[in-house]
């Protein structure tokens, strides 16, 4: 796919526009450090908001996820240790929070792409970004590319991190607020990054053919899925990324300056 044919530049975050250390050395440790105090404040007896998008809603989704996946290695959300996992939402916060934390930390240690977990992390990171404790570290070629591309096409982000977390990353980036340059954000609510249907859905969102979407990622399996959907692909090779032994035919680039 030639750049002139591209109508949507779709980009992964980790290893593509931001170094892997942003997550491993900043975001994950920050979330882990404040998860307990965040839950205790958000799930107090006087603050049990059950609306979609609330903290309690995310906890309910964690419970549902645990029941549906039936992973024998995952910690139970039932204090009796039952594998039926009826959930923790009916328990008092004092009893529920240690059980929730055990499951949340297990998900983080396994790097599971849990939509509910990502939503909770995003809420914790929001405070960190707003207080200046966190900054969205981006590669230096990113802001220039984002400023250049919208003249001919749209820029969009697709990450396993929640949409809310993505917006914070680019609003509080090391290069200033880049959100005016970005036309869309997508997370696992639109589908897994390893499934071609997700990329087709993103193309449909913008009203373009998949062939008019150019997807950038450091993960070959994601690029394979995008190509299966008909999208163009670029394998991004950045310092600090894991070595790629087989690119599966995807064009490799070392940055965004040449596009």
1 pLDDT band, cuts 50/70/90, is very low
In this prediction, residue 2 carries a pLDDT of 45
Q: How many percent of the chain have pLDDT more than 90?
A: 74
Mean pLDDT value across residues 185-191: 96
Query: Longest C-alpha distance within the chain, in Å?
Result: 60
CA-based torsion, 188, 93, 46, 50: positive or negative: positive
CATH topology of domain 25-130: 1.10.720
22 compared with 81, residue with greater pLDDT: 22
In this prediction, residue 43 carries a pLDDT of 86
181 pLDDT band, cuts 50/70/90, is very high
Mean pLDDT value across residues 65-77: 82
Query: By three-state DSSP, how is residue 131 classified?
Result: coil
Per-residue exposure over 60-99, b if at least 16 CB sit within 10 Å of its own CB, e if not: bbbbebbeeeeeeebbebbeeeeeebebbbebebeebbeb
122 contacts 189 by C-beta, under 8 angstroms: no
At 83, list the tokens.
């594998």
Count other C-beta atoms under 10 Å from residue 117's C-beta: 21
Q: 3-18+136-253: which CATH number, 3.40.640.10, 3.40.50.1000, 3.30.2310.20, 3.30.750.24?
A: 3.40.50.1000
Mean pLDDT value across residues 119-138: 96
Over residues 141-171, the pLDDT tens digits come to: 999 999 999 888 999 999 999 999 999 999 9
Q: Is the pLDDT of residue 50 over 90?
A: no
Cα–Cα distance measured from residue 198 to residue 209, given in angstroms and rounded to the nearest whole number: 13
Those residues whose C-beta lies under 8 Å from the C-beta of residue 230, and which sit 6 or more positions away, are 199, 200, 203, 209, 210, 211
Q: Is the pLDDT of residue 14 over 80?
A: yes
Q: Where in the chain is the domain with CATH 3.40.50.1000?
A: 3-18+136-253
Mean pLDDT value across residues 93-111: 90
82 pLDDT band, cuts 50/70/90, is low
Torsion from C-alpha of 35, 182, 214, 5, nearest 10 degrees: 180
Mean pLDDT value across residues 19-44: 93
At 151, list the tokens.
């003249």
Report the mean per-residue pLDDT for the chain. Answer: 91
In this prediction, residue 73 carries a pLDDT of 85
In this prediction, residue 86 carries a pLDDT of 52
Integer CA distances (angstroms), 63 to 98, 108, 210, 212, in order: 14, 16, 35, 39
Pairing of strands 232-236, 213-217: parallel
Q: How many percent of the chain have pLDDT more than 70?
A: 92
252 contacts 47 by C-beta, under 8 angstroms: no
Q: Where in the chain is the domain with CATH 1.10.720?
A: 25-130
The neighbouring-strand residues paired with 176 are: 173
């Amino acid at each position: 796919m030639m750049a002139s044919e591209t109508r949507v530049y779709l980009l992964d975050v980790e290893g593509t526009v931001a170094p892997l250390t942003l997550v491993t050395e900043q975001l994950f440790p920050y979330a882990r450090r404040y998860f307990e105090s965040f839950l205790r404040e958000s799930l107090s007896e006087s603050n049990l908001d059950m609306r979609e998008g609330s903290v309690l809603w995310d906890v309910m989704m964690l419970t549902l996820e645990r029941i549906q996946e039936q992973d024998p290695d995952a910690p139970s959300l039932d204090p009796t240790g039952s594998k039926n996992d009826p959930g923790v939402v009916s328990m008092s916060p004092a009893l529920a929070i240690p059980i929730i934390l055990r499951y949340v930390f297990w998900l983080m240690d396994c790097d599971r792409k849990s939509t509910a977990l990502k939503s909770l992390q995003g809420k914790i990171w929001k405070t960190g970004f707003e207080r200046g404790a966190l900054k969205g570290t981006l590669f230096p070629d990113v802001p220039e590319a984002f400023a250049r591309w919208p003249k001919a096409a749209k820029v969009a982000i697709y990450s396993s991190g929640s949409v809310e977390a993505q917006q914070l990353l680019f609003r509080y980036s090391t290069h200033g607020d880049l959100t005016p340059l970005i036309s869309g954000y997508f997370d696992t609510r639109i589908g897994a990054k390893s499934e071609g249907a997700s990329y087709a859905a993103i193309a449909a969102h913008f009203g373009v053919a998949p062939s008019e979407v150019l997807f950038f990622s450091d993960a070959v399996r994601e690029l394979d899925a995008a190509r299966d959907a008909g999208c163009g692909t670029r394998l991004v090779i950045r310092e600090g990324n894991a070595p790629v032994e087989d690119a599966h035919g995807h064009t490799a680039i070392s940055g965004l300056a040449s596009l």
